[in-house]
Structures are given as structure tokens and as C-alpha cells.
């Protein structure tokens, strides 16, 4: 009986070794999109009052975990019984990400001064409503990016047994959420850490200089994340089309990969923006 128990432990150890190796490969292949995920979600998780940053970030993190709980089993089931659905979901997600990126670019390039009544209307919107909108947007974007992360991780272990597939994808999903939102939490609390250092050092010495640097650096980091997040949306969406549509891949194969992804992302975003605006006009016409 003891030998049987140790045999089970040996099997578990061997399985964990296989999962560790597979997870390492999968994490390396998803490193790029994890960086994009960080940039996009850090930008979405900023812009709140100091005392609301952590509650809002925690709400987004919980939403991200729920996303993974939905996506992981669904991806495994679809891969087993209806693999084409995974590609369709990826392409639809690509259009959504491209739309968000292009919408931000157009808003920045063609921003106009708002009329007085619009400003008043925005000012009357409650902070709670603002938080809910941003949290919902962040969770939706996280869902799309999570689909890409899970599918890339799954593709690295398609030739392995089901147990390794399940464990590997689960490990990558958990690491993605904990790692990304852990770093985001550090970013959004930069200024508080800076104020703490300044206070503790009586505004003198190296710690005070570091504190001032953190406080002054936060607005720069946030603005930078806004730009990086928008670029990331375009690149991720373009990468989805480049890697999953053979015609588009062959059409732009002579271009550098990043340039091809930017072109595809911008094109998809413009198409999505036009279709959505057309849909809004049609809905308005029939009201």
C-alpha cells in the first residue's frame, strides 16, 4: 500500500514537472501579449481618486478572474468539439480591440471644444457611474485579451494529454491575472509611496528625492500608458488578423511584422468604427 502511495506521488511529481516545462514555454510565447495587457489595463485602471484606486483595481481584478474561469473551460471544450469557433471569437475580439484603439486616435486627432450643455451634462454624472463605466470597459477589454492569452497557451500544448493542457492553461491564466494587476497596483500607488517617503524623511536626503521622483513621475507614466495602451490595442488586433487570416498574412508578408500589424489594426478599427456609426444612425432613423 505504501509503495502504491509513493507511486501516486511520483506520478504527480512527473505531471507537475511536465506542467512546469509547458507553462514556461506558454508564458514565453504569451509574453508579448501580456505586455500589451499590462499597458492597456494600467491605462484603464488610472484616473480615479486616490482612495478609490485600489477598490476599482480590485473590482477589475475580480472581473479578470471571472473572465478566466469562463474562458479556460470554454476554450478547452471548443478546441475538442468545435475548433473553428475559437478562430471566430479571436477575429471578433480583434475587431473590438481595433475599434477601441482607432476611436481613441480619432478622438485625440479631431478633438473639438465641447458645448456648454455637454460639459454640464458630464459634470453631473456621478463618480459611481464613472467608475462602473471604466470598470466595465476594463473587464471587457481584459476578456478579449484573455481569450488571446488562453488560446496561445493552449496551442503550445495541443499535442499533450488533456491533464497537461488543463493545468498549463490554468497556470498561465492565473499568472497573467496576478502578474498584470499586481504591477498595475504598484503603478497606481506610485504617488502614495512617494508621499510616504517624503514624510518619513522630513523632505530631506535620498529618500525624499526618490519620493519626489515618484510623485512627479506618476503623471508621466499615466500619459505614457495611455499612448502605449492605444498602440497595444492596434498591435494586438493586427496580430490577431495577421496570424489567423491566411490571406492577410500572405498579403503583407513582405512588410516588417509590426508594420503589418499596425496596418491591419488600423484598417480593422476603421471598418468597425464605420459599421458601428452606421448602425447607430440606422437605429436613430427608425426611432
Q: Where are the domains of the chain?
A: 2-285
- Report pLDDT digits (tens) over 167-205: 888 888 888 788 777 877 777 778 778 888 888 888 778
Per-residue pLDDT of the chain (287 residues; tens, 9 = 90+): 445 544 454 445 554 555 565 666 555 655 556 666 666 666 666 666 667 777 888 888 888 889 889 988 988 888 888 888 878 887 888 888 888 889 888 888 886 555 444 444 444 455 667 778 878 888 888 887 788 788 777 777 777 777 777 888 888 888 878 877 787 777 777 877 888 888 888 877 888 888 888 888 877 877 777 787 788 778 888 888 888 888 888 888 889 988 999 999 999 999 999 998 888 888 877 77
Nearest to 272 by CA among 148, 103, 140, 105: 103
Closest CA to 60 of 38, 35, 31: 38
Grid cell of 75 as nine digits? 476554450
Say what angle helices 257-285 and 205-244 make with each other, to 10 degrees: 80
Contact (CB, 8 A) for 153 and 41: no
What residue has cell string 506520478? 11
Query: In the prediction, which pLDDT does 179 show?
Result: 78
pLDDT of residue 263: 94
CA distances from 196 to 47, 56, 190, 201, 206 (A): 20, 22, 10, 9, 13
Whole-number pLDDT of residue 270: 94
Q: What is the mean pLDDT of the chain?
A: 77
pTM given for the model: 0.68
Amino acid at each position: 500500500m505504501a509503495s502504491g502511495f509513493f507511486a501516486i506521488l511520483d506520478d504527480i511529481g512527473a505531471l507537475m514537472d511536465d506542467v512546469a516545462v509547458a507553462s514556461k514555454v506558454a508564458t514565453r510565447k504569451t509574453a508579448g501579449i501580456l505586455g500589451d495587457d499590462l499597458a492597456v489595463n494600467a491605462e484603464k485602471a488610472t484616473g480615479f481618486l486616490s482612495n478609490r484606486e485600489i477598490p476599482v483595481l480590485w473590482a477589475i481584478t475580480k472581473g479578470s478572474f471571472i473572465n478566466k474561469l469562463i474562458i479556460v473551460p470554454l476554450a478547452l471544450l471548443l478546441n475538442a468539439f468545435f475548433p473553428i469557433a475559437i478562430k471566430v471569437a479571436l477575429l471578433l475580439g480583434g475587431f473590438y480591440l481595433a475599434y477601441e484603439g482607432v476611436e481613441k486616435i480619432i478622438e485625440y486627432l479631431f478633438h473639438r471644444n465641447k458645448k456648454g450643455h455637454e460639459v454640464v451634462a458630464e459634470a453631473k454624472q456621478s463618480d459611481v457611474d464613472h467608475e462602473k463605466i471604466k470598470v466595465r470597459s476594463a473587464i471587457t477589454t481584459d476578456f478579449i485579451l484573455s481569450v488571446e492569452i488562453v488560446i496561445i497557451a493552449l496551442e503550445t500544448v495541443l499535442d499533450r494529454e488533456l491533464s497537461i493542457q488543463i493545468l498549463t492553461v490554468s497556470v498561465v491564466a492565473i499568472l497573467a491575472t496576478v502578474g498584470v494587476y499586481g504591477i498595475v497596483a504598484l503603478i497606481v500607488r506610485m504617488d502614495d509611496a512617494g508621499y510616504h517617503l517624503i514624510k518619513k524623511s522630513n523632505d530631506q536626503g535620498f529618500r525624499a528625492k526618490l519620493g519626489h521622483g515618484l510623485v512627479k513621475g506618476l503623471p508621466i507614466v499615466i500619459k505614457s500608458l495611455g499612448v502605449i495602451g492605444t498602440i497595444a490595442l492596434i498591435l494586438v488586433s493586427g496580430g490577431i488578423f495577421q496570424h489567423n487570416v491566411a490571406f492577410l498574412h500572405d498579403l503583407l508578408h513582405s512588410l516588417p511584422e509590426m508594420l503589418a500589424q499596425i496596418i491591419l489594426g488600423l484598417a480593422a478599427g476603421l471598418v468597425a468604427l464605420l459599421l458601428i456609426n452606421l448602425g447607430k444612425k440606422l437605429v436613430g432613423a427608425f426611432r
